Structures are given as structure tokens and as C-alpha cells.
């Protein structure tokens, strides 16, 4: 097919007739990332990490997850600083893959993101309800379902406002999150027993055993799930001041900060609670490990207070995730690469309305799905789907754009290129290849391939209606290559 090249076109996110406002500064950007990363995740996955490794050597999972997050974070940093528009991966895949496959890759990403982003948020709501049972032990199943749905409705209502007020609210919630995790860490290390934390089972680090690598892959999946969120500012790049500097800094600082918190928490918990208790899914420690730790160290009253803070932290994570996720279909719809209704913004407060509402509905559906299955299954399935359409495709996008658009302004260029990209690719491939073994009977590989195949069919139907490639000419629009203005 013939190409229609318009390299002087401005990016959709720069149009003045509906442009999002740049109101988020450097500190707010970092707190957004950290709030999304350290939600209720570590409080509910510390036992899961111990189960994956079969002992306190679970610390390996947090370190491996941090390495993958840092390597992948540098991919996000280069792409986000060079193309600071709303939509994140959508923009990067649109720019990199338009030369050969037209709009297929960005369409597939939005197709997948509309599923995996809100479903990941639903795990935070599941964690909220799980910890609430410590304060409300008589809660029934239907009551837990109702609480989760009401929480999602409240968060959507809080997001239905101006981005300026959201940025301020995020800082407040970030403070609550820091207080809650520091309380758990302080309680752990005031009653720390090294003999509990550093007593390993036989063959704990025997890398010649196949079981080690299955556990490693499962632990890596849990670890990267808990680090996810370091890319939130890339989704909100059109609303960030000085994105070329703020985005890379917010990503790296957030990962390093959260890594320190996770390592301290994991070792601290293992120094108070015998790791054998965490292997029993029916134990109090496995259900709400932080609450159990506080009760054993500072007493019931302190456990109640910190549990309340953890509940607020869970809300913070879901809040930040839905804020960023709602911007994903916005830019795609404005570029006519997704359903046009998602391009609508609030007439007064200028935020995407349809995207936010849709994310809320899917989050509610994911929450109910998780209540009928289990949290580990959701994490495994969602991560596997994300690997194909986002993680690996985005790494390829960095290489393609360096070759196709060498003169693209890049305020940040990946350190030690291409080493971080290679490390990230290896990490994501390990997660994908071992996903069936780590989740027996769930078939995450097959389900992920089926979802992508369904997306390809949907794309062909959409492309036929829109008369675009492969049923029409490609439209090559190097939107950021000649853009002169950098906010």
C-alpha cells in the first residue's frame, strides 16, 4: 500500500482545542509513581513471595524485580521524555510501528490496556477487602463484594475533577502511604530476630534444581507486579511540566525508593513471623501479614491503626492507577485508532470522561472475577498478557525509533544503551516462558495468545470500516520528530 507521510503534523496531544493542561510538577510526579507502586501490593504478596521460593530466600524475588523494573524503567524514560503525550505506550508503538504495520500495534495495545490496567487495579481493591477483614472479621462474602464495588465508585468520583486538585490530593495520599509502610518497618525492626529471617531450608539457593527457576520466575512475576506503577507519569506526560527532565527522574527515584522499602519490609517481616506460617493460606499471617506483625509487636491497638493506614494506601494505589490508565484510550481515540467516544473530555475540568468511566466499570468486573478465583491467578494472567503487547513491543520500539528517527529530540537517552533494554527483554521473556509452570492449570500463555489473536480480528474489522491499512494506505505521521516546543 502507498504511504501518506505528513512528518510536520503536530501530535494529537498538542492540539489547542482540547489539550490537557501541564499542572503536575516533579515532586507530584514522583509521588504519583510511588503511590501507584506501593499500594496494598506488598502487604498481600509478601506471603505469596515466600510461597513461590519456599522460604526466606524470597528476598531474591524483590531484588530481581527491582533489576527488571530499573532496566525497563530506562526504556520508559527515553520514550516518555522524547514523546511526552497522554497515552504512554500507545504513542511509542504508534510512532515506531507505523512504517510496516500501520496502526495495528497501537490498536492492540489499547485493546489490551483497556483490560489489564483496570484488572491490575482490581487486585488493589481485593487487597483492600482482604485487610478490612482484620477490622471486620465477621464480614460475609456478599458484604465484601459490596464494599469493593462502593470503593471503586468513590475513587471514580474523586477522580472526576480538575487535574490540579488531583495532584495535591495525591501528595496527601502519598504521605499516608509512607507513614503506613514506615510503621510496619519500624515495628518489625524493634522486634527483629535474625535467626528467623536468615534460616534457610536445604537447597534454598541451588540453581541447578529446576524447581528453583520455576520459583524464581514466579517470584519475579510477583516482584514486578509490586513494582508496576513506575511508568504512571509516562501515561500522564501531557499533564506534566518539563516532561523531558521530570519523567526520567520520577521513574528512577520512585523505583530506587520503593525497592528500599520492599527489601526492608520483606526482611523485617521474616524477622518477626516464622516463614512457615506464611506457607499456610489459612493462617492469620498469610491473610493479613502486616496486621499480624503489628499485633505481635506493638499490640492490637497499633495493629488497628496501621491496618487503617494500609486501607488508605490501597485506595491510593487504585486512585493513581485509574488516573493514569484513563488517559490511555484518550490519545488513541483522538488519533482515530480507537473508538471515537474515548476522545471526549469534560467541558470544564478537561479530563477524559469516557476512558475514566470505562476503566471504573472494568475494574469492578475484575474485582468480582478475583473474588471468585484468587489473587495469584489474576497477577499471573495479567502480567503474561502485558508482556506481549507492552513490555517486549516497547523495547523493540526504542531500537526502531533510534534507527527510523535518529534526529528525534531525546532529552534523556538510555544509559549504557542497549544493555538495559536487553536485560529488560530477558526478564520479561523469563516471566512469559515460565508462566504456565508457575500457574499450573490456568494456561496463561494460551490465554494471552488468544487475547492478542482476538485483538487482531477486532483490528481487521475496525480497519475495514476506517479504510486504513491493510485495507487502505498507511498514514506515516512522525508527530514528535519535528516538534519544536518542549514544555
Report the distance separating Cα 287 and Cα 267, nearest Å.
Answer: 18
Q: What is the pLDDT of residue 77?
A: 94
Backbone angles phi, psi at 443, to 5 degrees: 55, 55
Say which range, 190-194, 232-236, 290-294, has the weakest mean pLDDT: 232-236
Q: Looking up cell 490456568, which residue turns up?
A: 442
Does residue 466 lie in a domain region?
no
pLDDT higher than threshold 50 for residue 43: yes
Q: What angle do CA 412, 418, 420 make, to 5 degrees?
A: 80
> By the 8 A CB rule, do 263 and 65 touch?
no
The three cell numbers of residue 356 are 475514566
In a domain, 463, yes or no: no
Q: Is the pLDDT of residue 397 over 80?
A: yes
126 SS3 class = helix
| Domain span at 355 | 27-458
How many whole angstroms separate alpha carbon 274 and alpha carbon 276? Answer: 5
Peptide bond into 470 cis (omega under 30): yes
What is the C-alpha to C-alpha distance for residues 446 and 384, in angstroms, rounded to an integer? 10
C-alpha cell at 253: 527515584
What is the overall mean pLDDT for the chain? 84
Q: Which helix (H) or strand (E) holds 3?
A: strand 3-5
473 lies in a domain?
Answer: no
Could you give the CA distance from residue 385 to residue 218 in angstroms, rounded to a whole number? 15
How many structural domains are present in the chain? 1
Encode pLDDT of 306-329 as tens digits.
899 888 878 877 887 787 778 778
pLDDT tens digits, one per residue of 340-395? 778 788 777 677 888 889 889 999 998 988 888 777 777 888 888 899 889 999 99
In a domain, 486, yes or no: no
Assess if residue 13 is contained within a domain: no
* Rounded (10°) angle between helices 104-135 and 289-297: 30
Residue 21: its pLDDT value, please? 66
Residue 418 lies in a domain: yes
The CATH number covering residue 176 comes to: 1.20.1740.10
Percent of the chain with pLDDT over 90: 37
The answer to the question of residue 45 being in a domain is yes
Read off the pLDDT band of 1 (50, 70, 90).
very low
The answer to whether residues 411 and 245 touch, using CB atoms and an 8 Å cutoff, is yes
Which 3 state secondary structure label does DSSP give 476?
strand
Return the C-alpha cell found at 361. 466499570
User: CA 22, CA 233: separation in Å to the nearest integer?
Assistant: 12
Amino acid at each position: 500500500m502507498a504511504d501518506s507521510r505528513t512528518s510536520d503534523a503536530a501530535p494529537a496531544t498538542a492540539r489547542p482545542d482540547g489539550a490537557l493542561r501541564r499542572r503536575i510538577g516533579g515532586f507530584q510526579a514522583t509521588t504519583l509513581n510511588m503511590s501507584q507502586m506501593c499500594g496494598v501490593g506488598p502487604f498481600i504478596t509478601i506471603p505469596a513471595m515466600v510461597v513461590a521460593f519456599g522460604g526466606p530466600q524470597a528476598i531474591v524475588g524483590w531484588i530481581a524485580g527491582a533489576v527488571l523494573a530499573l532496566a525497563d524503567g530506562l526504556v520508559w524514560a527515553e520514550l516518555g521524555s522524547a514523546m511526552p503525550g497522554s497515552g504512554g505506550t500507545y504513542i511509542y508503538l504508534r510512532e515506531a510501528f507505523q512504517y510496516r504495520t500501520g496502526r495495528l500495534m497501537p490498536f492492540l495495545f489499547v485493546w489490551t490496556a483497556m483490560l489489564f490496567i483496570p484488572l491490575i487495579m482490581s487486585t488493589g481493591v481485593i487487597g483492600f477487602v482482604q485487610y478490612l477483614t482484620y477490622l471486620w472479621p465477621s464480614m460475609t462474602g456478599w458484604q465484601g463484594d459490596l464494599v469493593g464495588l462502593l470503593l471503586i465508585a468513590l475513587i471514580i468520583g474523586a477522580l472526576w475533577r480538575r487535574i490540579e486538585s488531583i495532584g495535591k490530593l495525591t501528595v496527601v495520599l502519598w504521605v499516608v502511604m509512607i507513614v503506613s509502610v514506615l510503621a510496619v518497618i519500624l515495628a518489625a525492626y524493634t522486634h527483629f530476630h535474625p535467626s528467623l529471617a536468615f534460616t534457610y531450608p536445604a537447597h534454598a539457593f541451588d540453581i541447578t534444581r529446576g524447581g528453583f527457576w520455576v520459583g524464581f520466575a514466579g517470584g519475579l512475576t510477583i516482584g514486578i507486579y509490586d513494582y508496576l506503577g513506575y511508568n504512571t507519569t509516562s501515561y500522564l506526560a501531557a499533564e506534566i511540566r518539563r516532561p523531558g527532565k521530570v519523567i526520567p527522574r520520577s521513574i528512577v527515584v520512585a523505583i530506587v525508593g520503593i525497592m528500599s522499602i520492599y527489601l526492608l519490609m520483606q526482611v523485617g517481616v521474616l524477622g518477626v513471623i516464622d516463614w512457615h506460617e506464611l506457607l499456610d493460606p489459612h493462617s492469620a499471617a498469610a491473610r493479613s501479614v502486616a496486621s499480624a506483625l503489628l499485633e505481635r509487636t506493638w499490640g492490637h491497638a497499633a495493629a488497628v491503626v496501621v491496618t487503617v493506614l494500609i486501607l488508605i494506601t490501597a485506595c491510593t494505589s487504585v486512585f493513581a492507577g485509574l488516573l493514569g490508565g484513563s488517559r490511555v484510550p484518550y490519545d488513541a481515540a483522538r488519533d482515530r485508532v480507537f473508538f471515537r467516544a474515548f476522545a471526549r473530555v469534560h467541558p470544564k475540568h478537561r479530563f477524559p470522561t469516557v476512558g475514566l468511566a470505562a476503566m471504573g466499570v472494568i475494574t469492578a468486573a475484575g474485582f468480582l472475577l478475583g473474588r471468585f478465583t484468587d489473587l495469584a491467578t489474576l497477577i499471573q494472567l495479567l502480567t503474561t498478557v502485558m508482556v506481549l503487547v507492552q513490555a517486549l513491543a516497547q523495547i523493540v520500539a526504542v531500537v526502531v525509533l533510534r534507527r527510523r528517527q535518529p534526529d528525534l529530540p531525546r532529552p534523556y537517552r538510555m544509559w549504557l544503551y542497549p544493555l538495559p533494554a536487553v536485560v529488560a527483554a530477558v526478564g520479561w521473556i523469563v516471566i512469559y516462558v515460565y508462566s504456565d509452570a508457575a500457574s499450573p492449570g490456568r494456561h496463561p500463555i494460551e490465554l494471552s495468545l488468544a487475547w492478542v489473536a482476538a485483538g487482531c480480528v477486532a483490528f481487521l474489522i475496525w480497519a475495514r470500516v476506517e479504510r486504513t491499512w491493510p485495507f487502505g494506505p498507511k498514514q506515516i505521521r512522525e508527530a514528535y520528530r519535528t516538534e519544536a516546543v518542549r514544555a
